[in-house]
Structure 1
C-alpha cells in the first residue's frame, strides 16, 4: 500500500487534463477508496462499500466482486446494481482469471473472451491477485452516463485499485476466519459449561478442555490485536506517504500559477487555482489523519521546554495576519507581560493556536474581530481565543471535540466544508497530553465564541 501515493502522483502528473474533464475527481475517489480499505475489516462491508463508491462516482450501472478459494472455487459474490442475483460459471471465471491484463469488452471484436463478457454483462473485468495467489475478479457493467465507454483514466484508476483491494480482501478474510472461530469457541465453552453442571465426574476433564480453549482464545485475541495494529500502521503509513507527493504537486501548481512554465491563460489559471486549493485541502486532511493516528497509537511525543505563551501568541498572530487581512478580520492579542512561563511543546501549542484561530476565521464575518488573551488562574495559564462570529448553540457544544464532528445548520456546515472535523479533536488531545484542559463558551447564535485552554505553570517559573 506504501506504493499507492507514488502511483497516484504519477497518474495525476500524466493525466491532469483528463482528470479535469472526468466526471469524478481522481484524487478524491482514490482517497475515499483508501479510507474504506483502511477502516473496513468485515469482508461483506468492504466489498459492498468499494462497489458502491465505484458505481456512484464512475457512473457504472452494475458491478460485482467474485472471490475464489485457493482451489479456484467461487465462495463469495458481492454485487450491486443487478435486477436479480447474478450467476457465475466457475470455468468461465477461471478463463477470465488466466488473463494477465484488465479486460475491456470494447477491445475484443470477437472470440471466447468477448462471448463470456457478453454473457456476464461485463464491460470491464479486473483481476484481483497478490504475488502468491488469485483472489478473484472485479466485474463492472456498462456506464450509466451519456458516454458509455471506459476511458484510459478509468482503466488506470481500476488497475491502481486492484492490488490494494486484493490485500484488503485478504485481511478481511483473515478477520472473518477469526470472527467465526470466536463464535465457534464461544459455543464450545457454553456446551462445556453445561456438561460440567450435569456431571461432577467430568469436572477435571472439562477444566482441562476449558484451559486449552482459553489458550486458543488468547491466541485469537492476539491475532485481533495484531490486525488492529496493522490497520493503525496502514493509516499512519498511507497518510505519511501521501503527504510528500501532495506537497510536490502543490509546489509545481504554484510554480505554474506564477508563470515559471510560461504564460497561463485566465481559464487555465482558474483551473489551476481549483487544483491548488484541492491539493492544499488534501494535505490538511492527510496531516490531520497522521496526527490522529499518532495520538491514538500513543506515538506522539512532547518536547517540553520553558515557554513564554505571550511570545508564542505573537508569533502565531504575525504568521496569520496576512490571512486575516485577506478576510478583512482584525486579529490582536491582549498584552500580559507579567505571566509566568509554562512547561510546553512550543510547536504543538502553536499548532493548537493555529487550529483554533483558523476555526475562528471560518465563522467570523468581514469586519469582525478575533482576540487572544492570557490570564493566570489556579496554578495554570489560560489562553482564550474569542471572536465576534456566528456563535454556537448550547446543545452543539458537547459534540465539538469529537472526531469528524461538524456542528451548526446546513449553511454553517457548508461554510466549513473544507474542514476535516478533526482539528478540535487534535487540539483537545494535545492539551490533555500537556496535563491541561480545553473548553468552549458561547452566549448563543450571533454572539461570538470563546475557546480556552489551560497549561500548567512551570515549577521553576513559579519558584
Structure 2
C-alpha cells in the first residue's frame, strides 16, 4: 500500500490545504470535461453516461475538499453530516461507469437496465451498511481527513462493486483488440483504460487507513482520466468549420486581440496562478511551524519536539514537490488545450486547401477569431472565391468551344442508335416507336405518326402519338402531304393554320402548330409517310434535325418493307402450322377410333384360338393365326401413331425409375421371340457394360429395342438367315448400346433422314416389309427424352446396318 498510516505531527494541518487544492483541481478538471462533452449538440449514449460519470467524480471530490477545509478550521466535528454526503456521492461514479460499460457490452437496452439495476441494489446494500456501521468515523492526519469503512462494507465495495467493473473493462479491451485485429482497423481504448485507472484509484482510496502524501500524488490521475475523456469525445466531434459559400455569416462584433497578446496573457496567467497558490500554501505551512515551535517555547521542553520539527520540515519538502508537480500538470493540460485550438484552425485551412485542390469550391471556412489566424482564414476564403470565378469563366469558354462538337457527336450517336433500333426487331410498331422516340428529342417535337398504305392504296396511321389519321386518299401535289409525295422529299410548315397547303379539314382537326412530312421510300416505292409535329412554335429552317431526318428516312423505309415481307411470311408459316395441327388431330382421332375395334377383333380371335367358342379345325386355326398376326401388326401401327400424336401435342411423358439396361434388352428379346423363331433368326448378346443402371421408362425403352429388332428382321437379305448382335459398353458417364444386323443395309444419302417421321428409304422395300416409317422416329424421341442420342451406320447394299445410341447412367442424370 502507498503509505501505511498517519505520521503524527503536533497540531500541524497545512497538509489539509494541499488536499483541498488537489481535490479542487480534480473537481475543476472533471467538471470542465463533463461540461465540454455534454454541451456538444446531439449526444450519444456513451457521451451522456461518461459525462455524468465525470461530473459525479468532480462533485465527490468537491465534497472531500470541503471536508478537508473543515478539518483545517477544526470544525469537522460540527460538520460531521458531510460524511454521509461523501459516502452517498462515492457511489454515483460507480453507477454511471457501470451503466456505460453495460451499454457498450449489451445491444439490448433491457439488458442494460436490468444489469444496472442489479448494480444499484448492491450499491444500496453497501451504502446502508457503511452508514449504519461506520456513521461519521474518520481519521485526521497532517495530509487530511479519511472517512473509515468497516470490513464488511469494504468487502462488498471491493468484491461487489469494483470487481465486476474491472471484469467488464478487461472484457471490453479484449473485445476491441480482437475486432481491431480481425477487421484490420484501429480501435480507441481510451475510455476502457480510463475505467481501469479509476477502479485502481478507488481500490487505493477504499483500502487506505489514512491520507498520506503518496495517496495525494496518486489522486492526480483523476485529472488524467478527465483529460483523456475530453480528448476522446471532443476530439472526435467535427465542428461545423466548413459552410456553404452562399451562406451569409453575420460578422461577430469582437474586439481585435492579436494572437501574440493572447499567448502572452495565457503564459502570464500560467506563471502567476501557480506561483500565487504555491506561495500561499508555503506561507501557511511555515506559519504553522513558526507558531508552534517559535512562539510557543513551552513545546521545546517536549521530548519529541526536535523529531516533530524535522518531520514538519520534511513535509514542507514534500509540499514543494507537490507544488512543482501541480504546476507542471496545469501547464501541460492548458498547453495541450491551447495547441489543440491552434491546430484545429490550421487543420481547417489544410483540409480546405485539399478540397480546393480537388476542385471543390462550394464552401468557405468559418472564422471564429478576430486575430491573425482569422485573417488567414479570411484571405483563404477570398482566394478560393477568386479561383472559383476564374474557373467558371474557363469552363464557360470550354463549353462554348465544344458546343459544335457535342452537336455533331450527338447527331452521329442518334443516327447510330436509330440504325441499331431499326435492325433490332421485326415488330413494326416496336421498331418505329423506338426509332422515333430517339429522333423526337433532336427535333424538339412531341407528336408523330407513321402512315402506311393498305392494299387499296389508302394511308392510315400504323403507329403514332397525338396525331390520328386513317383512310386518307392522298393525291400527289394536293396539300402538304401530297406535295411530299410529289417531290419525294421532306417538306415542312412552321404555321399549320396559316399555311395555304394545310387548309383542308384533316390538317385543321390535328390541332398542331408545326408539321414536318417525310416520305419513306425504298426500291422506288413509297412505303409510308412520317409526320412530326408540335403544338408550340418551332423553327425548322437551317435546323440540323431536318438533315438528320433525311438521313434516316431511307432506313425507316427499308425497315417497313422488310417488316411487310416478314409479316407475309409469318402468315404463311402460321397457316402451315395450323394445317399440321389439324393433321395431328386427325391422326390422333382416327387412331383412337381404330384402336377399339382392332383390340376387340384381337380379343375374339384369341377366344376362337383357345377353343372357348367351340372346336375348330387345323385349317381354321391356321387362318385365324394369320388374321391375328395381321391384327397385331395393325394394333402396333395404331399405338405408334398414338405415341407420335402425343409427342406432337406435348402430351408424351416418361416415367422415370431406376432401370437396368440389360434387363430391358432381355425383356425385348423375350417379347420378339415368336418373330425371331418364325424368321429362323439368331440374336447374339455381348453385354459388357459395368454401369448398367439408368433413370427411365422401362416399357418405352423396350419399345425402342423391339423397333430396332423388327427393322432388322424386316429388312433382311433374301435366302440368308437374319443375324442380330446386341452389345453394351461403358462410355464415361454414358451407356453405349449397339444393335447390328446383316440385312440389306442403308445407303449413305438416307442415313440422316431415316429418323424423320413417315420417311421411307424405298417404296418397294416398304411395300415388301410393311410399316409407315414411324418406328425409328419414335425411337429417337424416346431416347431424346432420356437425355440420350441415336444414330445409324451402314456400308450400303447388303452390308448390314448398325444402330448406336447412348443414355446417361443413373448418377449423371
TM-score with structure 2 setting the length: 0.29
Structure with greater Cα Rg: 2
Which has more helix, going by share of residues? 2
- Give TM-score, length-normalised by structure 1: 0.50
RCO greater where, 1 or 2, for CA within 8 Å and sep 6 or more?
Answer: 1
